[in-house]
């Protein structure tokens, strides 16, 4: 499925739709250049889950945990793991915690991820420095992510 997003507000709205329909165990992979809007989308998910704390990019911490919502949110940024070294992180532990997992830069750890995930590729439409226009491509891989995608479609089409 393809979407056009024209503002940060719309990106957060999409995140809220995703968060509203998320269930324990959902995994969302976000790909796109630096500044594409991955963390902005995650802020919307957090809001829908009832998380009040500010959501910040986990670029330097790799993982940020938000456990105070209706479901735990585990926000991960794998950019610093370009070499694929996961020795300091037990990803499987997070997959077993019945939360919602959002992974930025998943391409660096794809071999270590479950096969069932929703993936959103975010691309800038133009190169102007202040543009918020984005093209998004949503694809599901697996039963649970397909259910998640089908649940959000009616809300996206409004």
Domain count, the chain: 1
Residue 158 falls inside a structural domain = no
Shortest CA distance to 134 belongs to which of 9, 18, 44?
9
Reported as half-sphere exposure (CB side, CA atoms, 13 A), residue 72 has a value of 14
Residue 139 falls inside a structural domain = yes
Which CATH number fits the domain that encloses residue 111?
A: 3.40.50.300
Q: How far is CA 100 from CA 3, 19, 66, 123, 127, in A?
A: 22, 9, 10, 23, 32
pTM of the predicted model, to two decimals? 0.93
The tens digit of pLDDT for each residue in 90-99 reads 888 889 889 9
Phi, psi of 77 (to 5 degrees): -130, 110
The tens digit of pLDDT for each residue in 14-49 reads 999 999 999 999 999 999 998 899 999 999 999 999
Domain span at residue 56? 2-80+92-151
Shortest CA distance to 147 belongs to which of 13, 21, 46?
21
């Amino acid at each position: 499925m393809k979407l056009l997003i024209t503002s940060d507000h719309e990106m957060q709205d999409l995140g809220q739709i995703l968060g509203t329909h998320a269930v324990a165990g959902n995994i969302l992979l976000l790909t796109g250049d630096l500044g594409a809007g991955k963390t902005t989308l995650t802020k919307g998910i957090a809001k829908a889950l009832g998380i009040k704390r500010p959501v910040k990019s986990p670029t330097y911490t790799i993982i940020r945990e938000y456990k105070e919502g209706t479901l735990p949110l585990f926000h991960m940024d794998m950019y610093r793991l370009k070499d694929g070294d996961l020795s300091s992180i037990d990803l499987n532990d997070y997959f077993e915690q019945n939360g919602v997992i959002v992974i930025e830069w998943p391409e660096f750890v794809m071999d270590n991820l479950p096969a069932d995930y929703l993936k959103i590729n975010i691309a800038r439409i133009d190169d102007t420095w202040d543009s918020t226009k984005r093209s998004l491509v949503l694809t599901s891989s697996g039963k649970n992510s397909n259910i998640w995608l089908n649940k959000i479609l009616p809300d996206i089409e409004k």
